[in-house]
Amino acid sequence: MGRVFVAGSINMDVVATADRHPRVGETVAGKQVLYFPGGKGANQAVAAARLGAATTLIGRLGKDSFGAELRTFLGDQGIELSYVQETTDAHTGTAIITVADADNTIVVIPGSNALLSADDVGVVPLVKGDVAVSQFEIPLPAIAAFFQRARAASATTLLNPAPAQSISGELLALVDILVLNETELGFLANVELSESDETARIIDVARQLQAREDQAICVTLGRRGVLALAGREQIVVQGRAVKAVDTTGAGDCFVGALAAQLAEGAALRAALAFANAAASISVQRMGAGPSMPTAAEVAAVLKNG
């Protein structure tokens, strides 16, 4: 069985809840302020670890109170943290999140995450069967070095290009599995997409973005489920009807669950269905990292259809 290695961001999420989001220039009364471990890298690592995968996180923390709290939390999840370094050159990454009516707005201040370098990821002991995961909350040169290291070791590379930004053809070609939503897909393909687009159009745009014939592009569609182009094969995973409380971290839950399943040797179709079920659980809870489900919880959801 393979392992999951996540090179990515580690943040403290400062969450403000309110009845509605403020308009530009407006102040609204909030309900409460909550502090949750977050960051896309940390979230994905927590999701994979809670689902039983041997998980290692590669990242940077500031030498501050948030950094100490985050290290303790991540260690309690069973995540290997020997590749998480502390720095005095920047504060721990922070996300300011407003949650209203189950939707969220997010402002991310990278802090120490911006200091993650190619040297940090170059010593990671990847082997065949492992899954190397990253996202766009760390510098792109570090991601490229991480994936070059992974492909040299015949490990699987999985990229979640969020928050969306331009990606070079060289980096895209290093990706075995690309996981993104329709907005991110449209941005990377320079095509306007919306929630009303049909399956055929989304697949056509994904095909335009494919860097290699064997590359898989998985498009998460929220309550509509998942659509994937795996080489030439199309995979459709139906959405799950649940009452969402907080969607923060749902995409990260999906990515971490997918990586955990692939590390166990699951086929892509089954891994996508599992990850979709895991994400449907996470949106029914507050917070990002703490909302990630266990394998038993996902198994129960899948058993109940």
Residue ranges per structural domain of the chain: 4-9+39-90+113-303
Q: How confident is the model at residue 246 (pLDDT cuts 50, 70, 90)?
A: low
Q: Whole-angstrom Cα distance, residue 260 to residue 130? A: 10
Distance of CA 207 to the CA centre of its chain: 22
pLDDT for the residue numbered 248: 67
Q: Which of 8-12, 41-45, 51-55, 104-108 bottoms out in mean pLDDT, i.e. has the lowest?
A: 104-108
Of the two residues 291 and 115, the one the predictor is more confident about is 115
At the top level of CATH, which class does the domain 4-9+39-90+113-303 belong to? Answer: alpha beta
Residue 28 · residue 98 · CB < 8 Å: no
Q: Whole-angstrom Cα distance, residue 67 to residue 286? A: 21
Q: Which of 57-61, 128-132, 239-243 bottoms out in mean pLDDT, i.e. has the lowest?
A: 239-243
Q: Which residues are annotated as a binding site for substrate?
A: 11-13, 39-43, 137, 252
Question: 252 an active-site residue?
Answer: yes
Distance of CA 111 to the CA centre of its chain: 19
Q: How confident is the model at residue 159 (pLDDT cuts 50, 70, 90)?
A: very high
pLDDT for the residue numbered 53: 97
Q: Tell whether the model's pLDDT for residue 242 goes beyond 80.
A: no
Q: Whole-angstrom Cα distance, residue 302 to residue 88? A: 45
Q: Which residues are annotated as a binding site for ATP?
A: 181, 220-225, 251-252, 276
Tens of pLDDT, residue by residue over 191-207, are 888 777 788 899 999 99
Determine the number of helices (DSSP H) and then strands (DSSP E) in the chain: 10, 13
Q: Tell whether the model's pLDDT for residue 76 goes beyond 90.
A: yes
Q: How confident is the model at residue 245 (pLDDT cuts 50, 70, 90)?
A: low
pTM of the model: 0.91
Burial label, 174 (beta-carbon count in 10 A; 0-12, 13-18, 19+): buried
Q: Whole-angstrom Cα distance, residue 298 to residue 294? A: 7
Catalytic one of 120, 130, 176, 252:
252
Cis bond before residue 163 (omega within 30° of 0): yes
